[in-house]
């Protein structure tokens, strides 16, 4: 589902350069649940952003569901991202001027779906994360855990094959974090979604079928199948 071949990402910083990723080769199969772990600054977020097509590698190849992302135009990348990838962030990134329902609807509006279909799918999405009763709330009226569940509904509402999550429990207490991990687990188990999660949390790592250890932009160790 995701394949990286000798991927490097280098940020020029004046005379020096930051090697965020340095020759990463990795394949993630359809339906896998992978945890990316490693010390702060090792390249986890950079790697997720490349998989999401939010960012481009300095060199190397990035493949997602049979398409080579590093060669696509910005427009094609945006389209592919909207249909195939759902992204969840540490700080939720809900739009503060939209209700929970409207936040979840946003990707479908961008995809140009019909109103009826949008309403149905949004309803299902909110149901899936157990927040039907909070649909008309603004983000600031929701707890952190609820905001993150809305963000998960938004990430999955378009039916992406891949869900990428960057420290999704990093800003939550253990109960709310556990609920978020339960949801990701469910997506993986019941819907066969491919999940890649960057995390510092032991609890999150326990859920994963495979753990990828990064250090200084390189893969240190591969565990599991």
Ligand X SMILES: Nc1ncnc2c1ncn2[C@@H]1O[C@H](COP(=O)(O)OP(=O)(O)OP(=O)(O)O)[C@@H](O)[C@H]1O
Of 183, 103, 184, 165, the closest CA to residue 140 belongs to 103
Out of 46, 99, 148, 201, point to the residue binding ligand X (CB under 6 A). Answer: 46
Q: How far apart are CA 217 and CA 175, in angstroms?
A: 32
Please choose which of Mg ion, ligand X, none residue 41 contacts, taking the beta carbon within 5 to 8 angstroms, the exact cut-off set by kind.
Answer: ligand X
Give the range of 10-18, 125-133, 173-181, 205-213 binding ligand X by CB under 6 A. Answer: 10-18
Rounded to an integer, what distance in angstroms lies between the CA atom of residue 83 and that of residue 104?
14
Determine the size of the site formed for Mg ion (CB under 5 A).
2
Both structure tokens of 59? 């060199």
- Is residue 105 within 8 Å of residue 183, measured between CB atoms? no
Q: How far apart are CA 144 and CA 92, in angstroms?
A: 8
- Single residue of 2, 28, 32, 44 touching ligand X by CB under 6 A: 44
- Residue partners of 87: CB distance under 8 A and separation at least 6: 48, 52, 54, 155, 163, 164, 165, 166
| Residue 45 lies near Mg ion (rule: CB under 5 A) | yes
100 binds ligand X (CB under 6 A): no
User: With CB under 6 A, what is the number of residues at the site for ligand X?
Assistant: 11
Output the smallest distance, CB 23 to Mg ion, in A.
Answer: 19
20 lines the binding site for ligand X (CB under 6 A): yes
Closer residue to ligand X (CB): 31 or 144 = 144
Q: Is the distance from CB of 136 to CB of 167 less than 8 angstroms?
A: no
Tell me the window of 34-42, 92-100, 142-150, 151-159 that interacts with ligand X (CB under 6 A).
34-42
Residues that bind ligand X (CB under 6 A): 11, 13, 18, 20, 40-46
Residues that bind Mg ion (CB under 5 A): 44-45
């Amino acid at each position: 589902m995701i394949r990286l071949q000798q991927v490097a990402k280098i940020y020029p910083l004046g005379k020096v350069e930051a090697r965020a990723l340095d020759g990463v080769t990795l394949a993630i199969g359809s339906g896998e649940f992978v945890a990316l772990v490693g010390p702060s600054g090792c390249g986890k977020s950079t790697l997720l952003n490349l998989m999401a097509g939010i960012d481009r590698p300095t060199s190397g190849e990035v493949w997602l569901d049979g398409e080579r992302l590093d060669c696509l135009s910005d427009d094609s990348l945006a389209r592919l991202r909207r249909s195939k990838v759902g992204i969840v962030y540490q700080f939720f990134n809900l739009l503060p001027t939209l209700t929970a329902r409207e936040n979840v609807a946003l990707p479908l509006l961008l995809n140009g779906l019909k109103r009826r279909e949008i309403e149905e799918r949004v309803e299902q999405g909110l149901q899936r994360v157990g927040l039907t009763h909070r649909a008309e709330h603004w983000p600031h009226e929701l707890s952190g855990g609820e905001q993150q569940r809305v963000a998960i509904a938004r990430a999955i509402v378009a039916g992406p094959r891949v869900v990428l999550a960057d420290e999704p429990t990093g800003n939550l207490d253990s109960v709310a974090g556990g609920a978020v991990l339960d949801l990701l687990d469910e997506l993986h188990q019941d819907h066969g979604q491919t999940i890649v999660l960057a995390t510092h949390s032991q609890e999150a790592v326990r859920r994963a079928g495979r753990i990828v250890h990064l250090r200084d932009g390189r893969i240190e160790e591969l565990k599991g199948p």
